Amino acid sequence: MSLQHNDMKLLTRLVLALLIILIGFAGVRSCDSGIFSKPQIDTVRVVDTIWQKKDSVIVKKIKVKEVIHDTVELTNYQPHADYDSLKAQYLALAGLFTNKNIYQDSLQIPEIKGLIIIKDTLQKNLVLGRGFDISYSLPTVKETLTITKTNPPKRMLFVGAGTTLTVSQPQINLGLMYKDRKNRMYGGFAVVDPVAKQVTYGVQAYWKLF
């Protein structure tokens, strides 16, 4: 399209004015829509529990704290008048008195996956020793906190200008480019040739490959 000199000057001014307006409009929209604002924060919390197994054996010596004489129960152990019977009675009691009786009990603690085994050894009416076999697992909680800063896809409008160097006179390029949320870009441009007093228009389209 060929234009007169005055028309060419008017068109150039209109295009420049439009360019300034679009730049200002794009800046305001960018701030309002959050393009230049802080990105949205996504927080991912991952908790991993590792059980550490521990084993130990504890042996303790038990001391007599108090002695209680049971006179009522003692009547069941009166000495026999006959010697042979008395001897047999004595040997039976001596065997019971000198035997080592080992008692064992266990206690489970589900919260720590623990098992405590208690062993008591009794002889001569005394607790000779007490042992503990302890096996348990303690949880070690490992927490990973991941903060990912991401921005959702946004529509964007770009405006730009450039120049093309020719033999006679540089040409002025003005254009608009629009990007949608699927990264597809569409644009239009105008090439102003001041010498030839011509304006060339065109459209463009781009698709993301990778």
Quick check: 103 and 120 in contact, CB under 8 A? Answer: yes
Q: Which CATH superfamily is domain 5-39+151-206 in?
A: GSPII I/J protein-like (3.30.1300.30)
What residues form DSSP beta bridges with 107?
116
Q: What is the pLDDT of residue 40?
A: 55
The parts of the chain modelled with pLDDT lower than 70 are: 1-43, 73, 150-151, 166-168
Q: Distances from the Cα of 33 to the Cαs of 3, 21, 189, in angstroms?
A: 40, 18, 25
Q: Which residue has the tokens 């590792």?
A: 50
**Residue ranges per domain, the chain?**
5-39+151-206, 42-68+98-149
Rounded CA gap, 117 and 43, in Å? 45
pLDDT, tens digit, 9 for 90 and up, residues 8-25 = 566 666 666 666 666 556
**What is the fold of 42-68+98-149?**
Thiol Ester Dehydrase; Chain A (3.10.129)
pLDDT on residue 147:
73
